[in-house]
Amino acid sequence: MSALETNTTVAVIGAGTMGAGIAQLAAAAGHPVVLFDAFDGAAEKGKAGIDKGLEKLVARGKMTADTKAALLARIRLATDIHDVAEATLVVEAIVENLDIKRELFANLESMVASDAILATNTSSISVTSIARDLKHPERFVGMHFFNPAPVMKLVEVISGVATDKDVAECVFATAENWGKIAVHAKSTPGFIVNRVARPYYAEALRLCEEQVADPATLDALLTGAGGFRLGPFALMDLIGHDVNYAVSESVFKAYYQEPRFRPSIMQLELVNAGRLGRKSGQGFYSYTDGAEAAAP
Ligand code: NAI
């Protein structure tokens, strides 16, 4: 099945780290975009973040001011979730919680056209499970971007038990049209990348808990000697500890409490303290002078 036409509307639900990036991508590809967030001011904050990111591209001569203005003009902030009704594709990027996602999609299904595709950007929750109560689970699929969405090339297209093959193919082709490298994956815990990446975070956290070395030392080692682009602690700060912890917890539960996937109490304490990483200004590192400036 071919990609969505670029003149059709894409709705993005959740305007945080991922939702804002996905909205930017869809608008850059030419789609009219509707961006909705349930919390006051969040959609405005998301769009302001896009504006700031694009401004840097303009300053570096990588985008013209006209292109930037046109891209931003294609992103409409919705104050009412019913504004997603015209969308041919809805991408959800809200909190990593099964019940909240299920409730949202039950609501969305009653608003959109019968042939609209419903997609989740979940990092780890079973796509099959999110779709369980839908009247038409065959049009439900995972469209998993990586952080930051406008930069990272990979998109996992995740089929649940009921996902129609054509729906997965359409989302695959659409992601490639948006300049991404798409890969088909199945609805298994953590899918591909988050499954492979779990030990990177988990073992680094354990080393830290056992006081073998501190985050800055471990990050410096893994980037300097290991050749990783980001050390595990800087990466968790970028992802957000609430999101990263929720993913670990969900993979741990899904694999019947397999010990190697056990979440870290140290990370849970960061979540409890509201030290969520870059987005809150504090995680393993401090970002009070602006995330980029303080990044290790
Ligand atoms: P975030 O915390 O930055 O943003 C979530 C946004 O959703 C917030 O603006 C919040 O106000 C909004 N929201 C929460 N509940 C809502 C609801 N019921 N209806 C509408 N809006 C609602 O989270 P982030 O990092 O953007 O993650 C979103 C999703 O993307 C999660 O499922 C996460 O697992 C997944 N993801 C996250 C990645 C990351 O590196 N942060 C990478 C890939 C996927």
For 103-112, the CB contacts below 8 A with 24+ separation are 104/13, 105/130, 105/131, 105/134, 105/140, 106/133, 106/134, 107/81, 108/13, 108/81, 108/84, 109/134, 109/135, 109/136, 111/81, 111/82, 111/84, 111/85, 112/84, 112/85, 112/87
CATH fold of 10-186: Rossmann fold (3.40.50)
pTM for this prediction: 0.93
Predicted local confidence at residue 289, as pLDDT: 66
Pick the residue whose CA is nearest to atom 1 on ligand 1. 16
- ipTM surpassing 0.90: yes
Distance CA 274, CA 260 (A): 26
Helix axes 193-209, 215-224, angle to 10 degrees: 130
Q: Structural domain boundaries of the chain? A: 10-186, 196-288
Alpha-carbon span 128 to 163, nearest angstrom: 8
pLDDT of residue 232: 98
**Predicted confidence (pLDDT) per residue in 133-144, tens digit:** 999 999 999 999
**What class is the 196-288 domain?**
mainly alpha
Q: For this structure, is 136 an active site residue? A: no
Q: Ligand 1 atom closest to Cα of 276?
A: 2
Does 41 sit in the ligand 1 pocket, CB within 6 Å?
no
Q: Closest Cα to atom 36, ligand 1: which residue?
A: 123
Q: How confident is the model at residue 294, as a pLDDT?
A: 39
The stretch 218-234 carries a mean pLDDT of 96
CB of 44 within 6 A of ligand 1: the answer is: no
pLDDT tens profile 18-72:
999 999 999 999 999 999 999 999 999 999 999 999 999 999 999 999 999 999 9
Mean pLDDT for the stretch of residues 255-284: 97
Cβ–ligand 1 contact at 121 (below 6 Å) = yes
Cβ(16)–Cβ(123) below 8 Å: no
Q: Is the pLDDT of residue 292 over 60?
A: no
Residue-wise pLDDT tens digits, 75-130:
999 999 999 999 999 999 999 999 999 999 999 999 999 999 999 999 999 999 99
**How much distance in Å is there from the Cα of 194 to the middle of ligand 1?**
16
